[in-house]
Amino acid sequence: MTELTDFEGAVLAQIGHGGPITAYAVAKRTAASTSEFWSGSAGAVYPLIQRLAARQLLVSTEAQDGKRARTDYVLSAEGRKALKAWLLDAHRASDLGFDPLRTRLVHMDQCSASERKRFMHQVAALLEKAAGTPAPTDDPRLLALHETLTRARLEWFKAFERVHSAMDEPAHRRLAAR
């Protein structure tokens, strides 16, 4: 069996936690998550869940809601095993992944000081806002995760800003400022 992709793992984990659950509900929750990295579109989620079911990681049960057919999914034993292998993969977990902010900050030297200043201001405001907004959940663990994450992100950004702008100052100003 080939390894789960990260999206497959995330969906499997959602089903493992919330199941029995429909593909529609998985899509909606994904779409509502704090990151915009996965859109949670039907076009992604329905085929993905069908693939997982074909691999026997999910078992489906047909149900009827009045006149509308519905398919509910839960993890199979195999599915739970695959989920754990994905979840507990420390090497994959500790990669940096993709951060649109980091990706841009690396190249900040390619714009003028005023452009940079304006950008840093805007970003700081958006990060502050994110840090002030609780996660869309009532699970205290997820709230804590989101809070520590957004706060750490903001602190990191500020630390970088300090270092970066310190480097902008010519040496004599840096000395004079002591």
Partner DNA sequence: GGCGGCATGTAAATGGTTACATGATTAC
Partner DNA sequence: GTAATCATGTAACCATTTACATGCCGCC
Contact between 148 and a copy of itself by CB under 8 A: the answer reads: yes
* Shortest Å, Cβ 17 to DNA: 18
List interacting residues with DNA (CB under 7 A). 5-8, 22-25, 27, 37-44, 46-48, 50-51, 65-71
Choosing from 103, 114, 173, 175, the residue that interacts with a copy of itself (CB under 8 A) is 103
Residue 7, number of CB atoms within 10 A of its CB? 15
Q: Which stretch binds a copy of itself (CB under 8 A): 19-27, 48-56, 58-66, 84-92?
A: 84-92
Choosing from 1, 42, 77, 152, the residue that interacts with a copy of itself (CB under 8 A) is 152
Measure Cα distances from 13 to 5, 9, 124 in Å: 12, 6, 32
Q: Which does 51 bind (CB under 5 to 8 A by kind): a copy of itself, DNA, none?
A: DNA
Residue 124, number of CB atoms within 10 A of its CB? 14
Give the C-alpha separation, 127 to 50, whole Å. 37
Q: Which of residues 9-48 bind a copy of itself (CB under 8 A)?
A: 9-10, 13-14, 16-17, 34-38
CB 30 within 8 A of CB 11: yes
* Total binding residues toward a copy of itself, as defined by CB under 8 A: 63
Q: Which stretch binds a copy of itself (CB under 8 A): 21-29, 45-53, 57-65, 125-133?
A: 125-133
Contact between 52 and a copy of itself by CB under 8 A: the answer reads: no
Q: Is 107 exposed, middle or buried (0-12, 13-18, 19+ CB in 10 A)?
A: exposed
SS (H, E, C) 112-143: CHHHHHHHHHHHHHHHHHHHHCCCCCCCHHHH
Contact between 108 and a copy of itself by CB under 8 A: the answer reads: yes
